[in-house]
Amino acid sequence: MAPIQQTASVLFLALGPYMALAPENGQLPPQIVRVESVRIADGIKFVVLNNMDGRFNVSCNLKEKGCITPARGRDYYVFEKSTRWTIPGAKNPTTLSFIQNLTVTYPDIENIGIMAKNSDTSPGMGLFILNYWTAIPHD
């Protein structure tokens, strides 16, 4: 196999599941994150989610329907306002608005939805306020 074909094959194997989700197809896939920490103070849940690119510092009001405690060691999709992704087998794309319609919306502040990557993970879907995002420097 020629070097270019080998490279293309490796890229397809690595990116194959996401190729149909490329922005040019009207889709922008969610980032995948893991839970770094969870703490509760004064009726607010503070969660830090991370991946190789950075950390999402989010929070939610414990009294709201979408204020879940994501499970440590499990992967979650992050839905931002620009995320538009059709879950395999679904007819319509999942968006932040879809998650807000099922949970809650925090007005006048940036909202972040999360959804468990594996359908057997509970809790499966929640909504948070994005407090800030920090990039992880790459050398």
Residue 57 has pLDDT above 60, yes or no: yes
pLDDT greater at residue 3 or residue 45? 45
For the entire predicted model, the pTM comes to 0.78
Q: Is 75 strand, coil or helix?
A: strand
Note whether residue 10 is domain-resident: no
Note whether residue 14 is domain-resident: no
Please count the structural domains in the chain. Answer: 1
Q: Which of 23-27, 72-76, 117-121, 128-132 has the lowest mean pLDDT?
A: 23-27
Question: How many helices and strands, by DSSP H and E, does the chain display?
Answer: 2, 8
84 pLDDT band, cuts 50/70/90, is: very high
Note whether residue 29 is domain-resident: yes
Note whether residue 9 is domain-resident: no
CA distance 29 to 31: 7
